Structure 1
Amino acid sequence: MTTITATTPAAQTAQTTAQAGGTSVLSSDFDTFLKMLTVQIQNQDPLNPIESTEFAVQLATFAGVEQQIRTNDQLSGLSSQLGLSTMSQLSNWIGMEARVSGPAQFSGSPITLSPNPPALADTAQLIVLDASGTEVQRQTIAVSGAEIAWAGTDSTGAPLADGAYSFRLESFADGASLGVQEVEHYAVVREAQGDGAGGVRLVFDGGLTADASTASALRKPAGL
């Protein structure tokens, strides 16, 4: 069963508390100002009334505080609507394969990699790192943008244990290294979570996550 979580309970609580706190302060200032203005009008000296300009400034301040409260309420409602809209759109991502960088969860099935060597490269090597950052495999691959299936074996061909693995590509030109870059992979989206700051994180098998904005492609899994 797939789920879409707008925010974690902690994030929701923090956000609600912050919004409530800001509105509470403004409301308190608004009420206090209103009371002070009323008392001032009731107790003014008939022989020396409040100057019209001073009274106008106070009324303008009064209106400004009131408008700020209304604006905050409107922005809060708009933010909630936008968040729900984003999450609704991302519901279509559940069960799809997203192409992202970062660690991938290996559970016995091949992982589809999408290397992208520089145009000047004449040779390229795929580097596989385990969860601790230890290199467990290095193999020469074709210099092209074609996808490859990583079978989950070490440099000797022995099967690797299930877990999280990261992929790097080191490219060469005339024997000189052109640098090392991350290799993107495809992973099935299991969940979409709001991060409490307007962004959304995609959740994959093994609890691995990636920012939704970093996904460079989306497709249906093979066979669907």
Structure 2
Amino acid sequence: MEINSSFGNFTGGAEGSGSPGQSDFVTFLQMLTTQMQNQDPLNPMEASDFAVQLATFAGVEQQTYTNQLLATMIGQTGLSDLGGWVGMEARLYGGAHFSGDPIELTPDPALGADEVVLIVRNDNDEIVDTRSLDPETQSYVWDGQDTDGNPLPDGTYRFEVESRLDGEELDTQPVAAYVPILEARYEDGMTMLVLPGGLFVESGQVTGLRPPSEPDAADTM
């Protein structure tokens, strides 16, 4: 079976065992404290630099924990169990197929950002839409329109969120979308999920699962 590569190639799971420990966070804070104590008092670091370090650590910590937890869950789940996923909505990174229905996104802006921009790319990696989001936004419904408000054609789109502080970029991260699961298959030693638009993804890439729901049009812009 040839897997449609337009959906991306994000792997679930993480190397090693165990969840991120509190010691990692303590070590990070010790390093940050040492950095502050030894900085040049005549040329101290900008507050935005510290914000970038904190945001980066928090994002990596959370993603590592999520990947390890899901890897454990998937490892204990057989194809018969995945059959119960059919008809559910999976939270996935890498993009989603648009065919007229709004797509619910779960942006996760960087900690401390005062400006957040949603970036939408098409199959050719061209930016087709950008729009401002509230820095506190955790759920957003994309209506399938470009920057000028014109409807975009059916196709697969990828989403990113750029976080800024005082006009400076903190980071740019992929945004997950909720995608319907149409079928579960076992192919070449892998458990694959079939998604709208002829897309396939390994079950280990799922970062969330929920019953289907209708997006609230009031959340779109």
Same fold (TM over 0.5): yes
Who is 2:196 aligned against? Answer: 205
Letter in 2 for 1:125: V
- Measured in 1, the distance between the counterparts of 2:158 and 2:86 equals 23
Q: CA RMSD in A?
A: 1.9
Displacement after TM superposition at 1:145 (Å): 4.4
Q: Which residue of 2 aligns with 1:164?
A: 156
Shift of 1:146: 2.3
Task: State the TM-score, normalized to the length of structure 1.
Answer: 0.59
Point out where structure 1 has 5 or more consecutive residues left out of the alignment.
Answer: 1-8, 11-82
Letter in 2 for 1:95: G
Give, in whole Å, the separation in 2 of the partners of 1:215 and 1:142.
26
Deviation at 1:214, TM superposition (A): 1.8
Identity of aligned residues (%): 38
Select which of 133, 157, 179 maps to 1:187: 179
**CA deviation profile, 1:40-80 (whole Å, cap 9, x unmatched):** xxxxxxxxxxxxxxxxxxxxxxxxxxxxxxxxxxxxxxxxx
Aligned: 1:118 with 2:110: yes
Aligned length: 141
Q: Look up the match of 1:108.
A: 100
Q: Which has the larger radius of gyration?
A: 1
TM-score (norm 2): 0.60
SS at match of 1:99: strand
Letter in 2 for 1:205: P
In 1: Cα distance, 2:185 partner to 2:208 partner: 19
Q: Which runs of 5+ in 2 are unaligned?
A: 3-74, 215-221
Distance 2:115 2:161 in 1: 10
Q: Which residue number in structure 1 is paired with residue 212 of structure 2?
A: 221
Describe how 1:138-177 pairs up with structure 2 within 5 A. Answer: 138-177=130-169
CA distance in 2, matches of 1:92, 1:144: 33
| Structure that is richer in helix per residue | 1
Query: Amino acid of the residue matched to residue 116 of structure 1?
Result: D
Q: Distance in 2 between matches of 1:145 and 1:159?
A: 23
